[in-house]
Structure 1
Amino acid sequence: MKYLMLIYGNETVWNSLPPADLAALIDRVDAFNQELRESGELVMAEGLVPRARSVRTGAGAPVVTDGPYLEAKEYVGSMFVVDVESEDRALEIAKSYPGIRFAEGVGGGLEVWPLMVRGR
């Protein structure tokens, strides 16, 4: 089963990290991704450009706004997809993600979403 991991962060917190701490965190995330690649569980991992747009219906027509949440302090900063045998394994991976373990408050959090599979 494939799971999408949405990684939340706060730009103010990330920008306040000393350069050595940020470099150490990036190294840990790179090692984390490499371990998942080697196990065959990592499908993809990508950072997101912090300029999300939201398209919703308003006044009878689609409206594009900044989004998804204008006042949010945290935003989705990156994501990865794993293909694992169980939800337990997906949650184990999520709990071991370096960004939420590095320093209190730095990682922001991580959402785990099962992906739909056609034909099921």
Structure 2
Amino acid sequence: MKYVILIHSNPQPWGHPTSDYLAEHQALPAEQRERLNAEFERLLTEMSANGELVAAEALADPSTSELYRWSGGEPLATDGPYSETKEHLAGFFLIDVSGPERAQEIALAFSGPGETVELRPAMWPGGEEH
């Protein structure tokens, strides 16, 4: 089953990994930050080794994005990424796992202080979840 893990964070200040730039993460004791980072790297290594990690990308500064919407029957490009929000999509991971329980386990490990992690089943051309 394929899932997308979406990483949302506040774009100010901007940088990757997002946790390094979040006050909530920076407020943790150094040894706790190091442990969390090591656990995350271990999980990524494990997922790569067992084929669960399909793709992952950090996304550029949200001020560089554009939105495309229809207006007056024509596509219209506007500044993005969202309208009137303090969060943005910072990156994503596409995973292929045995079921929802494993996807939930991974998504929980991806969450951290000051971040929002969204887990969503992937949809395929026929519209069904896989």
Shorter-chain TM range is 0.7 to 0.9
In 2, Cα distance between the equivalents of 1:46 and 1:86? 22
In 1, Cα distance between the equivalents of 2:95 and 2:8? 17
1:23-38 matches, cutoff 5 A: 24=34, 28-38=39-49
Unpaired runs of at least 5, structure 1: none
1:74-113 matches, cutoff 5 A: 74-97=87-110, 100-101=111-112, 104-105=113-114, 108-113=115-120
In 2, Cα distance between the equivalents of 1:11 and 1:48? 11
Shift of residue 33 of structure 1? 1.6
Shift of residue 116 of structure 1? 1.9
TM-score, length of structure 1 as denominator length? 0.76
Q: What is the letter of the counterpart of residue 110 of structure 1?
A: V
TM-score, length of structure 2 as denominator length? 0.71
Q: Secondary structure at the match of 1:8?
A: strand
Q: Which among 52, 68, 84 is matched to residue 41 of structure 1?
A: 52
What residue is the counterpart of 2:16 in the other structure? none
What residue is the counterpart of 1:11 in the other structure? 11
Q: What is the letter of the counterpart of residue 98 of structure 2?
A: E
Q: Secondary structure at the match of 2:12?
A: helix
Alignment coverage as a number of residue pairs: 112
Identity of counterpart residues, as a percentage? 35
- Assess, with a 3 A threshold, how the Cα gap between structure 1 residues 66 and 32 changes in structure 2: closer, same or farther: farther
Shift of residue 4 of structure 1? 0.9
RMSD: 2.6
Checking the alignment, whether the CA contact within 8 Å between 2:5 and 2:118 is kept in structure 1 is yes
Shift of residue 28 of structure 1? 5.0
- Assess, with a 3 A threshold, how the Cα gap between structure 1 residues 46 and 58 changes in structure 2: closer, same or farther: same
In 2, Cα distance between the equivalents of 1:109 and 1:27? 20
